[in-house]
A and B are shown apart, each in its own frame.
Chain A
């Protein structure tokens, strides 16, 4: 090993980088604690947290997708011109004459769709495992982290939505028209929100530059800040919820065997009655491994796998680009982005007429129903009264009823999205996937 002495201190390769093959527990701990990139991970992790089956690694996949989106997004920012006159042309150029432009754009688009899907799946996983619940640690606040997660979900949707307008083609223009008109129906503030969002009453240059700035700076920055907090809270809450579960089941065993004492804990800190004191009850030999290399390698594997998957599908699934935006002609059918199609479907079926009184579907289906769902989602941890034995366990018996209700709601949303995406043809009429749509007219 190369060693250089500077002012009497030893500077080794190891103090600059990290080692993949730590020779001692201390080296393994150092690799994490003394490393900027890794310092937010614990030095030791439980095998359960590392397993594929508990977390399904959905959060890591989501974060990787966000990283891909940031990288490809920065490249695209160099190539795209956010002006009504040039936007469409610059996207056509990205598609045709920029080297690999079509590919970078396809990666960006596919990652965006995948990110929406994976944030959602991550949420489903956390709900089904009761991972938003506090366990046994002091100072835990998992419900707060769940709320942060819900906000991240909403921002992800909005990020994707703002990016939708940028190509300035018919698909973009009309998806945003439909989307922002749903917002317009919110009571009292709806009209105002739409006006501020678009910088006017029409989707024009003002709207384009607003969406661009939101999409490229404001929302990604918000995601980054909330993501950091999200991760920090996981550490403060004593790691994944399955750890609490492990400790609880260990407690019973240990009472029988007598307590084992350890000189270090997950964090390398044992002062005070904190989460870590409780978690140090775990039999480390049996249930934990060093983060370096096991955790870091598996994170690397998930990131690599996600990246390769996105690259692979981007070779086959290209980002669409339709005719240039034309405010005078609505394509038939005009659809919102797929993750809002369940709302569009709701809007289409929830116009209620009682006598002369008409309740607009956009208000019921577009605002009230999703609004109530989001609020319920956010406060659910406070309504869930199950015991901490169901924290970090898949399909706990105690939480069976709520899990079923939650799954049914998710299923309904997914079914509505599938109907909206694949079974709605011209004039929003229903077509089975095997039924051909009527031939759409062309100019020539």
Chain B
């Protein structure tokens, strides 16, 4: 009986020692996981749709190209799907016709990645280099409050999502 008690006290002592140390060390580890984010915005409000320039505009804050074709708007992310470099818009002097997904499409511009030579057609489809998939398309919407155009990185959309105002 006496031995049991001694055994119990020993276990209690060693147990509390290990638990207390584990608890203290955990505070150091836990403190390195941030609870709040200071990262930049994922949602950018632009001007009214009719004040957006025709053609292509690059929005620095969210690394996205926004396109206007008359009353139609769409946006393609400039982040290369390979390793995240920012792809460059390259206007073609002569439009070319390529086959994308079995359909023949006329392409007036391309995106080239400066890092590892990935190349994308105007709609973001990858055709050369290491990029594993097409560039992401980004949601474009009209703000219900003031009618301005909003580009929202948080909302993924399928390729060829276009907004007509």
Contact flags A85-114 to B (C-beta < 8 A → 1, else 0) = 000000001000111110110000000000
Question: Cβ of A100 and Cβ of B35 under 8 Å apart?
Answer: no
Which of the segments B24-32, B92-100, B102-110 contacts the partner chain?
Answer: B24-32
Residue of A nearest to B24 (CB): A311
A213 sits at the interface (CB 8 A):
no
B 19-66 contacts with A by CB, 8 A: 20, 24, 27-28, 30-36
Q: Is the interface of A mostly helix, strand, loop or mixed?
A: helix
Of A72, A75, A97, A311, the residue contacting B32 (CB under 8 A) is A75
Q: B85 at the A/B interface (Cβ < 8 Å)?
A: no
Residues of A within 8 A of B36 (CB): 93, 97
Known contacts: A97-B36, A311-B24. The answer to whether A104 contacts B31 by CB under 8 A is yes
Contact A100 B31 (CB under 8 A): yes
By beta carbon, the residue of chain B nearest A94 is B31
- How many of chain B's residues touch chain A, expressed as a range? 10 to 19
Please, how many angstroms separate the alpha-carbon atoms of A104 and B30 in the complex?
A: 11
Partner of B31, one of A99, A304, A307, A308: A99
Question: Any chain B CB within 8 A of the CB of A78?
Answer: yes
Interface 1/0 per residue, B63-89 and A, CB below 8 Å: 000000000000000000000000000
- Give the distance to chain B from A10, nearest Cβ to Cβ, in Å: 29
- Give 20 new A-B contacts, CB below 8 A, not counting A75-B32, A79-B32: A75-B28, A78-B32, A79-B31, A93-B36, A97-B36, A98-B31, A98-B34, A98-B35, A99-B27, A99-B31, A99-B33, A99-B35, A100-B27, A100-B30, A100-B31, A101-B31, A103-B27, A104-B31, A307-B24, A308-B20
Top 8 A-B residue pairs of the complex, sorted by shortest distance between their CB atoms = A100-B27, A99-B30, A75-B28, A100-B31, A97-B35, A98-B31, A97-B36, A99-B31
A-B contacts, 28 of them at CB < 8 A, read A71-B28, A72-B28, A75-B31, A75-B32, A78-B31, A79-B31, A79-B32, A93-B36, A97-B34, A97-B35, A97-B36, A98-B31, A98-B34, A98-B35, A99-B27, A99-B30, A99-B31, A99-B33, A99-B35, A100-B27, A100-B28, A100-B30, A100-B31, A101-B31, A103-B27, A104-B27, A104-B31, A308-B20
